């Protein structure tokens, strides 16, 4: 059973994990940077990359210590090398290259978004459902992720990605639809700013929505063309802005809104948070049902639905996914709460499949790639 050290630094979480056999999480350490970015209401790339430089080696050492693993016991080193913030990615890739070279083990580059899909097939680390970052043993009673999952419909929802996939195997996702503007997690962050709820926006809006009254407001659901599997959340964000602050008066630099979020009673802001959340999640689930129908029409009905990414921690999304499972009769696999945030356990887990496919790994020349898509083939020195 191969033991793999995974590293993740694509955005603002510095993470390291040790995973056996692509499944059993021996440690899963995450150092969040929320406190560093809170005053800006979003991630500042330069601050993020500098924080990774400070935190990655201590996080990696803690992951090895809590797993009870020495570097000699590792069979490979894996790193999320695409997509993400280029400065942040470079820190993780450089550290992984150094480690793989030092211990003479294969180095494996992993697509961060594909890893979010794979996280939906992994069991939850024990004793760690509410606080990712603490070691927990894998749940041996959880169903294994074998060929029975596939073909699957996959949904990745996070601060940077809202993408629907046909997934034929852990290593073979095909894009069916993606956002044409904001990712849903980014829209949540902007909604939190509009409503004055703080950062990070996703949990803040979710908490406020739980106190809101349904039906007090209705915000638009942008579904695009009747058969479209793409997403759009910019209109929802703008509609919320006008509900909160009114229509702008004047033009250019002289334009002003009628009011600010602070002028609204707290209950009104909670009601609007609920309206935003209901619109966002309904849009996601409508597209998922379209995807199921289109895969079935093409002769490849999905055998499961996989959901990964930070927004999968959202309470309404999780409850609606359960309802969809009962309504459509398709097993729904949600990433465990501890594996929703950017984490290295999903990187190491997916790397096990890559290692089985290519025992030599990708070579030390792997590159950090900021944009989604296929990573460039390493140029080996002769």
Q: Please report the domains of the chain, with CATH numbers, ordered by start residue.
A: 3-141+339-357 (3.30.420.40), 150-302 (3.30.420.40)
User: DSSP labels for 10-49?
Assistant: SSSEEEEEEEETTTEEEEEEEEE-HHHHGGGTS--HHHHH
Other CB atoms within a 10 A radius of the CB of residue 206 amount to 21
CA atoms within 13 A on the CB side of 19: 34
Per-residue confidence (pLDDT) for residue 126, from 0 to 100: 65
pLDDT range class, residue 113, cuts 50, 70, 90: very high
pLDDT range class, residue 93, cuts 50, 70, 90: very high
Task: For residue 124, give both structure tokens.
Answer: 């939850």
What is the mean pLDDT of the segment spanning 261-289?
A: 97
Is pLDDT of 247 > 90? no
- Rounded to 5°, the CA angle 273-278-284 comes to 125
Task: For residue 30, give both structure tokens.
Answer: 């995450």
Q: What are the helix and strand counts (H, E) for the chain?
A: 10, 10
Task: Indicate the average pLDDT of the chain.
Answer: 90
Least confident of 73-87, 142-156, 237-251, 262-276: 142-156
User: Checking phi first, is residue 158 left (phi over 0); if not, alpha (psi -120 to 50) or beta?
Assistant: beta
pLDDT tens column, 328-349? 999 999 999 999 999 999 999 9
Is pLDDT of 266 > 60? yes
Preceding amide of 347 cis, omega within 30? no
pLDDT tens column, 13-23? 999 999 999 99
What is the mean pLDDT of the segment spanning 37-63?
A: 93
The pLDDT > 90 percentage for the chain reads 79
Backbone phi and psi for residue 129, each to the nearest 5 degrees, phi listed first: -75, -30
Preceding amide of 146 cis, omega within 30? no
- 14 touches 59 (CB < 8 A): yes
Per-residue confidence (pLDDT) for residue 147, from 0 to 100: 61
Please indicate whether residue 350 or residue 374 has the higher confidence score (pLDDT): 350
pLDDT range class, residue 250, cuts 50, 70, 90: confident
Q: Measure Cα distances from 285 to 4, 182, 256, 322 in Å.
A: 35, 17, 36, 11
């Amino acid at each position: 059973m191969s033991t793999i050290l995974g590293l993740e630094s694509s955005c603002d979480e510095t993470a390291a994990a040790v995973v056996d056999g692509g499944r059993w999480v021996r440690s899963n350490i995450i150092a969040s940077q929320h406190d560093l970015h809170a005053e800006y209401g979003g991630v500042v790339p330069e601050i993020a990359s500098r924080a990774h430089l400070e935190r990655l080696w201590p996080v990696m050492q803690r992951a090895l210590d809590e797993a009870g693993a020495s570097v000699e016991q590792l069979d490979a080193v894996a790193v999320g090398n695409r997509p993400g913030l280029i400065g942040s990615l470079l820190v993780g890739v450089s550290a992984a290259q150094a480690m793989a070279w030092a211990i003479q083990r294969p180095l494996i580059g992993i697509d961060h978004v594909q890893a979010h899909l794979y996280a939906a097939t992994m069991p939850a680390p024990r004793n760690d459902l509410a606080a990712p970052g603490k070691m927990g043993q894998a749940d041996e009673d959880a169903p294994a992720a074998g060929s029975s999952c596939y073909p699957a419909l996959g949904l990745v929802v996070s601060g940077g990605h809202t993408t629907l996939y046909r997934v034929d195997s852990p290593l073979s996702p095909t894009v069916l639809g993606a956002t044409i503007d904001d990712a849903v997690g980014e829209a949540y962050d902007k909604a939190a700013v509009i409503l004055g709820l703080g950062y990070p926006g996703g949990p803040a809006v979710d908490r406020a929505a739980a106190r809101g009254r349904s039906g007090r407001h209705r915000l638009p659901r942008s579904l695009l063309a009747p058969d479209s599997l793409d997403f759009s959340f910019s209109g929802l964000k703008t509609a919320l802005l006008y509900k909160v602050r009114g229509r702008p008066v004047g033009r250019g630099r002289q334009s002003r809104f009628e009011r600010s979020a602070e002028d609204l009673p707290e209950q009104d802001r909670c009601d609007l948070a609920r309206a935003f959340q209901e619109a966002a999640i309904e849009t996601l689930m409508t597209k998922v049902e379209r995807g199921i129908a289109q895969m079935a029409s093409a002769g490849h009905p999905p055998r499961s639905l996989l959901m990964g990414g930070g927004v999968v921690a959202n309470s309404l999304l999780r409850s609606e996914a359960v309802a969809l499972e009962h309504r459509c009769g398709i097993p729904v696999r949600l990433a465990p709460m501890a594996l929703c945030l950017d984490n290295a356990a999903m990187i190491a887990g997916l790397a096990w499949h890559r290692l089985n496919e290519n025992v030599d790994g990708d070579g030390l020349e792997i590159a950090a790639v900021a944009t989604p898509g296929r990573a460039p083939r390493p140029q080996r020195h002769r």
